[in-house]
Amino acid sequence: MENWEALTGDVCRVAREAGIFVKSERKNFRRSVVQEKHAHDYVSYVDRESERRIVSALRALLPEAGFITEEGSAEYRDEPYCWVVDPLDGTTNYIHDVSPYCVSIALRSRTELLLGVVYDPSLDECFSAWKGGGAYLNGERIRVSDVARLEDAFVMAELPYNAGCYALTGEHLIRSLYGRVAGIRMNGSAALAMCYVAAGRFDTWQEAFIGKWDFSAAALLVLEAGGRVTDFYGSDHFLDGHHIVASNGLLHASLLDVLKEALPLNL
């Protein structure tokens, strides 16, 4: 399979269909159907049914690919290609009827990302990218920002569920950046936060203790939009890790310097 552009279009349609389902189910959603996977990390029938639909559709598109999925409905057995699926990123937002939340789908080989699609059904925004083809929002090309000074940066500083290991890092980030940068925000969706960096809405973002399904699709979007993605140590080999920094590239070193002063425990 080499026509990544055409396949990306097909995946956009799969993501949109799943997103429409997720949004429609929110009208009658009840918190009583929610289960807690880990402390403050939730799942519901919506996540599971969205994943089932996505996996079925993707299998038809590329039968030779395996799967890494958040809810574990399919497996990866060292196939040459692998779909990485988050059927509902931002579940806590969704449970509380707060935007944003999204569907995230990536395709990777054993060594690199090949395409990524993130769909936000609340705003009907479909972010997409394929290897070497650029990054797009609803078909229009997007680029990272050109902000070069940390003092001018609009940053995302998400706090992961693993508070025991991340609390000191989070506190350090707030102390170091609050009052120094243009603004700090949290949105509750790793995938969309990274897409906002790709679109130039935000300049930097970082989070640790997250899954491949949280960042894979959006990481390609940032890279294809001209930005940079690394782990917390500044390595470009982030695909199989769980800590990610995404930026417009110009601010990357500055953010890494701040992080190095208080890296999370058990990173």
pLDDT of residue 19 exceeding 50, the answer is yes
pLDDT at 74: 74
Lowest-pLDDT choice from 38-42, 47-51, 205-209? 38-42
Split at pLDDT 50, 70, 90, the class of 31 is: low
Asked if residue 131 and residue 154 are part of one domain, the reply reads no
127 and 155 together in one domain? no
Q: Are 156 and 201 members of one domain? A: yes
Are 80 and 8 in the same domain?
Answer: yes
Are 28 and 133 members of one domain?
A: yes
Evaluate if residue 136 carries a pLDDT over 80: yes
Find the CATH number of the domain harbouring 91. 3.30.540.10
Q: Is the pLDDT of residue 37 over 60?
A: no
Of 11-15, 90-94, 147-151, least confident by mean pLDDT is 90-94
Q: What is the pTM of this model?
A: 0.94
Q: Quick one: 157 and 110 in the same domain?
A: no
Measure CA 92 to chain center: 15
Are residues 130 and 95 part of one domain? yes
pLDDT at position 33 is 65
DSSP 8-class letter at 8: H
User: Of 141, 163, 194, which residue constitutes the final position of a domain?
Assistant: 141
Q: How far is CA 267 from CA 39, 64, 165, 230, 262, in A?
A: 19, 33, 8, 14, 11
pLDDT (0 to 100) of residue 73: 73
Q: How many domains does the chain have?
A: 2
Of the candidates 234, 241, 227, which has an alpha carbon nearest to the alpha carbon of residue 196?
Answer: 227
- Is 103 domain-assigned? yes
Clarify whether residues 121 and 63 are in a common domain: yes
Report the pLDDT value the prediction gives residue 230, as an integer from 0 to 100: 98
Query: 198: closest CA among 251, 155, 248?
Result: 248
Residues 6+ apart with CB under 8 A from 186: 156, 157, 158, 159
Q: Is 12 helix (H, G, I), strand (E, B) or coil?
A: helix
User: Is 50 inside a domain boundary?
Assistant: yes
Q: Tell me the two tokens of residue 1.
A: 């399979």
Pairing of strands 154-156, 183-185: parallel
Q: What is the CATH number of the domain that holds 211?
A: 3.40.190.80
* DSSP codes of every residue in 119-173: EETTTTEEEEEETTS-EEETTEE--------GGG-EEE----S-HHHHHHHHHHH
* 49 belongs to a structural domain: yes
**What DSSP element (H or E) covers 65?**
strand 65-69
Mean model confidence pLDDT for the chain = 93
Distance CA 46, CA 28 (A): 11
For residue 64, CA distances in Å to 49, 163, 164, 198 come to: 23, 39, 40, 30
- Looking at the domain assignment, is residue 265 inside a domain? no
Segment 171-223, tens digit of pLDDT = 999 999 999 999 999 999 999 999 999 999 999 999 999 999 999 999 999 99
Q: What is the pLDDT of residue 40?
A: 44
User: Under DSSP, is residue 246 helix (H, G, I), strand (E, B) or coil?
Assistant: strand
The reply to whether 177 falls in a domain is yes
Task: Collect all residues with Cβ–Cβ distance below 8 Å to 17 and sequence separation of at least 6.
Answer: 53, 57
User: Is residue 246, in this structure, part of any structural domain at all?
Assistant: yes
Q: Does 164 lie in the same domain as 202?
A: yes
Q: What per-residue confidence (pLDDT) applies to 47?
A: 84
Q: Are residues 21 and 126 located together in one domain of the fold? A: yes
DSSP labels for 192-232? HHHHHHHTTS-SEEEEES--HHHHHHHHHHHHHTT-EEE-T
Residues 44-59 have a mean pLDDT of 90
Map tokens 């603004």 to a residue.
183
Q: CB under 8 Å to 162, separation ≥6 — which residues?
A: 208, 209, 264
* Segment holding 117, helix H or strand E: strand 113-120
Task: Kindly state whether residues 53 and 117 are assigned to the same domain.
Answer: yes
| 129 and 181 co-located in one domain | no
Buried b / exposed e over 185-221, threshold 16 CB at 10 Å, is eebbbbbbbbbbbbbbbbbbbbbbbbebbbbbbbbbb
Structural domain boundaries enclosing 51: 4-141
Task: Give a yes or no: residue 213 inside a domain.
Answer: yes
- Of the residues 81, 112, 141, which one is the last residue of a structural domain? 141
Q: Does residue 39 carry a pLDDT above 60?
A: no
Residue 266 falls within a domain, yes or no?
Answer: no
The residue out of 85, 113, 141 marking a domain boundary is 141
Q: What is the pLDDT of residues 108-127, one digit of tens each?
A: 999 999 999 999 999 999 99
